[in-house]
């Protein structure tokens, strides 16, 4: 399994690299923290993000590449940025505990962006 920790905004070069690697991974698990939660925004929400000083891609590239149950988002970061994960990602009760457990147990490759 490959674990991706994405903390960058949608238009970051690091995010674009992450998405390219995700496209080639059959068994990816994505953790979104910090500004990485903006990658859950859809077109309708792009205007709201722009008003907050953030930009968003035209579509949900991340959600198109990875199944909902394989995307995990940090509750505190979602709330702080006003982003909803409903229908797009799983929000574990203890995000960082889940991340460390998966890294220790499952992660054959771990990528941080």
pLDDT in tens, 13-44: 999 999 999 988 888 999 999 999 999 996 44
The helix or strand, by DSSP H or E, that contains position 81, with its residue range, turns out to be helix 75-81
Burial class (CB in 10 A: 0-12, 13-18, 19+), 98: middle
- Which domain does 67 fall in, by range? 2-112
Provide the number of structural domains found in the chain.
1
SS3 18: helix
Contact between residue 72 and residue 90 where contact means Cβ atoms under 8 Å apart: yes
pTM: 0.83
pLDDT value at residue 91: 97
The helix or strand, by DSSP H or E, that contains position 98, with its residue range, turns out to be helix 95-105
CATH of the domain at 11: 3.40.1260.10
Cβ atoms < 10 Å from Cβ of 64: 10
């Amino acid at each position: 399994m490959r674990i991706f920790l994405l903390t960058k905004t949608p238009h970051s070069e690091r995010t674009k690299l992450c998405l390219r690697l995700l496209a080639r991974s059959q068994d990816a698990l994505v953790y979104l923290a910090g500004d990485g939660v903006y990658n859950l925004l859809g077109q309708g929400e792009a205007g709201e993000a722009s008003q907050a000083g953030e930009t968003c891609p035209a579509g949900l590239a991340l959600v198109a590449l990875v199944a909902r149950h394989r995307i995990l988002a940090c509750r505190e970061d979602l709330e702080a940025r006003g982003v909803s994960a409903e229908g797009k990602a799983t929000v574990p009760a203890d995000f960082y505990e889940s991340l460390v457990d998966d890294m220790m147990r499952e992660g054959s490759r771990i990528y941080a962006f």
